[in-house]
């Protein structure tokens, strides 16, 4: 049976509840005084994004996978596409390859960056950041991913399972939790760990433009964009961007209009006023 909308809601709630508990138990950074305010705004934006795009994206992927009229476009043997494990791994590799290069494009193209910068402008990192995406970003990304479902011909169950993996992996990668370094060194070869992704949210551009993997780090290693930093430096590393750091920039109304605002970089130290 394919997971329905209610299952997706329940799964998402359970994942977030578990990670929020771990954030209080083993935090990577100490809790902040404005945590409640950040969560209200981040989750408010996520509500808009979820209903406007993420839920639609899940529905679209399952629909494309179940549309028999599109099965003739399949590029892989049916025996492979119908196998749950093989189908999931194929979809993961292809979708992540597309997502990896799409992520790099968001960082390089001037008119796309402000849309993605809504996610990067968060000055703290926790599970709520994983949902802090502008609706435009998901709507622009969806047409890139859904063709992969059609070309691979995976089953609706595989497509739905992949979407659940996206929820869990994205939330875990953004979680404010401290893993034992020995465990992190092993895991970050296979999946995105909190410390691995934390570096991507550094305010220093040389780190922001690295570690582009969303679910797995494989293509970062393959294309040379994987970077690392001393774990002791990660704890006090500045998160966010060099601009959009004011309290008003955290409000839901500002997050929604942020892609249309002019980026004003702070004056360099010692510059004339």
Structure confidence by residue, pLDDT tens digits, 78-104: 666 678 888 899 989 999 999 999 999
What pLDDT shows up at residue 200? 96
Cα torsion angle, 194, 195, 199, 200, sign: negative
What pLDDT shows up at residue 268? 43
What pLDDT shows up at residue 75? 58
Mean pLDDT for the chain overall:
81
Note every long-range contact of 133-139, with CB atoms under 8 Å and residues 24 or more positions apart, other chains counting: 133/45, 133/46, 133/49, 134/45, 134/49, 134/255, 134/256, 134/258, 134/259, 135/48, 135/49, 135/52, 135/53, 136/259, 137/106, 138/49, 138/52, 138/53, 138/54, 138/57, 139/52, 139/53
Task: Quote the percentage of the chain above a pLDDT of 70.
Answer: 77
Residue 2 binned pLDDT confidence (cut-offs 50, 70, 90):
very low
Pick 179 or 52 by higher pLDDT: 179
Token pair for 181: 């370094």
pLDDT at 150 over 80: no
Mean pLDDT, rounded, for 253-260: 88
């Amino acid at each position: 049976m394919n997971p329905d909308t209610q299952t997706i809601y329940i799964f998402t709630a359970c994942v977030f509840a578990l990670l929020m508990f771990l954030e209080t138990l083993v935090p990577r950074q100490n809790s902040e005084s404005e945590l409640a305010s950040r969560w209200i705004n981040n989750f408010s934006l996520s509500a808009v994004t979820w209903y406007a795009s993420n839920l639609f994206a899940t529905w679209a992927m399952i629909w494309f996978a179940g549309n028999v009229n599109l099965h003739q476009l399949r590029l892989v043997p049916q025996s492979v596409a119908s196998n749950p494990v093989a189908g999931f791994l194929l979809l993961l590799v292809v979708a992540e390859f597309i997502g990896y290069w799409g992520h790099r494009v968001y960082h390089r193209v001037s008119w796309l960056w402000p849309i993605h910068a809504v996610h990067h402008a968060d000055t703290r990192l926790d599970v709520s950041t994983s949902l802090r995406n502008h609706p435009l970003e998901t709507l622009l990304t969806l047409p890139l991913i859904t063709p992969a479902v059609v070309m691979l011909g995976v089953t609706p169950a595989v497509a739905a399972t992949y979407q659940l993996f996206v929820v869990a992996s994205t939330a875990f990668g953004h979680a404010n939790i401290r893993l034992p370094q020995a465990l992190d060194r092993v895991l970050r070869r296979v999946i995105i760990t909190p410390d691995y992704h934390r570096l991507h949210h550094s305010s220093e551009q040389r780190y922001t433009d690295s570690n582009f993997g969303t679910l797995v780090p494989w293509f970062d290693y393959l294309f040379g964009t994987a970077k690392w930093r001393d774990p002791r430096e990660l704890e006090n590393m500045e998160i966010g961007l060099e601009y959009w750091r004011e309290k008003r920039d955290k409000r839901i109304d500002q997050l929604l209009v942020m892609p249309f605002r002019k980026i004003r970089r702070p004056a360099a130290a010692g510059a004339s006023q």
